[in-house]
């Protein structure tokens, strides 16, 4: 079960320049390189920023928390992109008649 209603794309799209610098300082790579080459660290970076925002903790503390998470927890942290698509519900995209 997701720990947030946000998707990873929503968190990445909301990054500020300060967030990008904090990610680079914590992970030693910029967010683009993490996304292209280090997918698990990319997810941990998104968890770090989201966690820092939600708790008010420093990025340093949120980074340690994200790095301590098992991969299964990191993978389930964000809501999936298609979580609101339910075939039998008319209000979801796939439940609407064509």
pLDDT (average), residues 12-36: 96
What pLDDT digit, counting tens, does each position of 37-92 carry? 999 999 999 999 999 999 999 999 999 999 999 999 999 999 987 655 444 555 54
Task: Determine whether 41 is exposed, middle or buried from the number of CB atoms within 10 Å of its CB (0-12, 13-18, 19+).
Answer: buried
Inside any domain, residue 67: yes
Q: Does residue 3 sit within a domain?
A: no
Residue at 78 is within a domain:
yes
Residue 3 makes CB contacts below 8 A (sequence gap 6+) with 73, 76, 77, 78
Query: Does 2 reside within a domain?
Result: no
pTM: 0.79
**Total domain count for the chain?**
1
In this structure, how many other beta carbons lie within 10 angstroms of the beta carbon of residue 72? 8
Quote the CA–CA distance of 69 and 82 in Å, as a whole number.
24
Is residue 48 in some structural domain?
A: yes
Whether residue 83 is contained in a domain is answered as: yes
**Domain of 62, in residue numbers:** 8-95
Is 73 domain-assigned?
yes
């Amino acid at each position: 079960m997701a720990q947030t209603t946000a998707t990873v794309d929503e968190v990445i799209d909301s990054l500020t320049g300060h967030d990008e610098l904090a990610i680079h300082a914590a992970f030693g790579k910029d967010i683009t390189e993490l996304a292209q080459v280090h997918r698990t660290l990319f997810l941990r970076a998104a968890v770090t920023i989201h966690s820092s925002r939600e708790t008010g903790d420093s990025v340093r503390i949120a980074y340690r928390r994200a790095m301590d998470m098992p991969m299964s927890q990191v993978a389930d942290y964000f809501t999936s992109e298609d979580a609101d698509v339910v075939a039998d519900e008319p209000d979801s995209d796939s439940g609407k008649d064509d």
